[in-house]
Structure 1
Amino acid sequence: MTIQAELAALKAKADIDNISEMQQLAFSCIDLTTLNATDTVSSVKAFTQRVNDFANDYPNLSNVAAICVYPNMVRSVKEVLNVEGVNIAAVAGGFPSSMTFIDVKVKEAKMAVDYGADEIDIVLPLWAFLESNKLVCQEEVATIKEAIGDAHLKVILETGALVETDKIHHASMLAMEAGADFIKTSTGKMNPAATPEAAIVMCHAIKEFWMKTGKQVGFKPAGGIATTNDAILYLKIVKEILGDEWLNPKLFRIGASRLANSLLSDFLGEEIKYF
């Protein structure tokens, strides 16, 4: 079956599964993200406080999975966040281009963890991958993974720059073999960002890796995911390829800034602009 044929079948199933239960599941898997050049300590603290407020305003709903910020804003999130079960994620390693020295990448990632990050999102060094320098890619991922200890490592493939199916699959396997806890589609800083086609390839790679090693690696689409329909489609891709075992925040995340309000509005039945 071609990817386009598989996607068409998945879209039909996603339309059927676009129900409140799935919408709330998608909400609970969001990495609520602010990665703007205009982020300030005050704005990030206010952003974090909204997550705190959500736990009080909607006590019967699951909160988002994590707050994702630049590494220098981790301390600000840590100072304000007071709800259990919401992690702190930081982009690091020369995000979004990965065009800096490995020593800088390692130090930045480790500093983010030292300041309170539970998860680190880095970009696979495309400058090396596109020249087939597998060793550099593996060494970078493995070295950063070792440096951050127990923190979870998400490796961004920037699939929009890879384009071809075989390159996306190769990058997925390389990142997982080097120690990635999650593989992630995109930085959200270039187009195209997340696409269902890339998600299908990555999820098949995760399944292949799981069958080979027994290790479950998570999946995170990110970039341009703004509507409930988008979120449900990605959930359906994961469900059909990897199974229900992946449908939880430990193994599935959605990187988004606008999606939370769309999901809230749909499963609560009224327009909500909370975040």
Structure 2
Amino acid sequence: MADVTASDAALRRFLHGLPGVDAVGLEGRAAMLGTRSIKTTAKAYAIDLAISMIDLTTLEGADTPGKVRALCAKGVSPDPTDRTTPRVAAICVYPDMVETAKAALAGSGVHVASVATAFPAGRAALPVKLADTADAVAAGADEIDMVIDRGAFLAGRYLSVFEEIKAVKQACAREDGSAAHLKVIFENGELSTYDNIRRASWLAMLAGADFIKTSTGKVAVNATPPGTLLMLEAVRDFRAATGVQVGVKPAGGIRTSKDAIKYLVMVNETLGEEWLTPEWFRFGASSLLNDLLMQRQKLSTGRYSGPDYVTVD
């Protein structure tokens, strides 16, 4: 599909030539999938799977090395009273905390993810964004969560956004020839329309995104079932067209086990079991883990222990 990105005009024609989104149909299907009843052993499996897919996140100005180390300890052993509890997929921090997280997670198998490219607004010059990315990778980040320039996208400067994603992808490369995985954040709540979310999905995947991600968690509207379903359909169609598989990460606003399981049903029904692994699906969350742990304890003991029995992040 190289000709699609040969010029701004060609990319515009392609993105605006994508089928328009039937909003009523999309929202109706998302709502229908959310009504599936998951119980007993299937629920237990889904809870453990959801835990293993979490990017446990702290992205606050008040983050300290001690807070990051505590979060890493929780990610490695979410429930110290039950060693069968899965580890989370990654700990997500700001670039200046990558080295601390990397040291705390050494040998655990839990990845370090770092936001970059002037997160969360993305309002910085490209050299600054690339330096931000390179610093995080040099510090040991396994994954980079970048934000697109929403202003450029909404102004229709699609090739500019495409070239920026490509440049950040190149900045993810390491000296040994490997590379950090790149997750591209759209901030769906600011893209305004479903058609824009579909266009952003294809644009990011054409530019080499390893994952497409709904949001930063820093705006009023973050992950929603219809928006995530639309992105799942986009990665399905992209693989059918190119043979390339891309992951999806809803982030922000997913706080309960019930919500997480709805998303897993959506993945299974849209993409199949192949995507039901941390390699291809993640939850960006901070509070979700505690609810999953409480529901897990209830299933194993028959008692609801409450929030006092899980650590406070």
Distance in 2, matches of 1:50 and 1:253, equals 17
Cα shift readout 1:170-222 (whole Å, capped 9, x = no counterpart) = 00000000000000000000011110110011111111101001111000000
Question: 1:16 is paired with a residue of what secondary structure?
Answer: coil
- Structure 1 residue 127 displacement after superposition: 1.1
Q: Is the 8 A contact 1:52 1:83 kept in 2?
A: no
Question: What is the TM-score with the length of structure 1 in the denominator?
Answer: 0.95
- Cα 1:255–1:170 change in 2 (3 A) is same
Amino acid at match of 1:185: T
- 1:273 matched to 2:295: no
Quote the residue 1:20 is aligned against.
44
Q: Is the 8 A contact 1:52 1:82 kept in 2?
A: no
Unaligned 5+ segments in structure 2 are: 1-23, 174-178, 299-304
Distance in 1, matches of 2:234 and 2:127, equals 29
Amino acid at match of 2:38: I
Quote the residue 1:242 is aligned against.
271
Quote the residue 1:97 is aligned against.
121
Question: 2:131 is paired with a residue of what secondary structure?
Answer: helix
Distance in 1, matches of 2:204 and 2:77, equals 36
Quote the residue 1:204 is aligned against.
233
- Structure 1 residue 168 displacement after superposition: 0.4
* Matches for 1:52-71 after TM superposition, within 5 Å: 52-54=76-78, 57-71=81-95
Quote the residue 1:152 is aligned against.
181
- Structure 1 residue 40 displacement after superposition: 1.2
- 1:179 matched to 2:208: yes
Q: Is the 8 A contact 1:93 1:104 kept in 2?
A: yes
- Structure 1 residue 44 displacement after superposition: 1.3
Return the match for 1:262 from 275, 291, 294: 291
Return the match for 1:114 from 130, 138, 151: 138
- 1:74 matched to 2:74: no
- Structure 1 residue 5 displacement after superposition: 1.7
Question: What is the TM-score with the length of structure 2 in the denominator?
Answer: 0.84
Q: Is the 8 A contact 1:55 1:63 kept in 2?
A: no
Distance in 1, matches of 2:33 and 2:275, equals 17
Distance in 2, matches of 1:87 and 1:57, equals 23
- Structure 1 residue 61 displacement after superposition: 2.3
- Structure 1 residue 53 displacement after superposition: 4.2
Amino acid at match of 1:16: I
Superposed CA RMSD in Å reads 1.5
Q: Is the 8 A contact 2:236 2:271 kept in 1?
A: yes
Cα shift readout 1:140-182 (whole Å, capped 9, x = no counterpart) = 1001101112110000010001121110000000000000000
Q: Is the 8 A contact 1:120 1:151 kept in 2?
A: yes
| Structure whose CA Rg is larger | 2
Distance in 2, matches of 1:55 and 1:191, equals 31
- 1:34 matched to 2:58: yes
- 1:216 matched to 2:235: no
Quote the residue 1:233 is aligned against.
262
Quote the residue 1:127 is aligned against.
151
Amino acid at match of 1:273: V
Question: 2:34 is paired with a residue of what secondary structure?
Answer: helix
Question: What percent identity do the matched residue pairs reach?
Answer: 45
Q: Is the 8 A contact 2:78 2:86 kept in 1?
A: no
Distance in 1, matches of 2:89 and 2:234, equals 24
- Structure 1 residue 33 displacement after superposition: 0.3
- Structure 1 residue 47 displacement after superposition: 1.9
Cα shift readout 1:46-90 (whole Å, capped 9, x = no counterpart) = 222333444865332220000000011001111211343210000
Q: Is the 8 A contact 2:76 2:88 kept in 1?
A: no
Count residues with an aligned counterpart. 274
Amino acid at match of 1:171: A
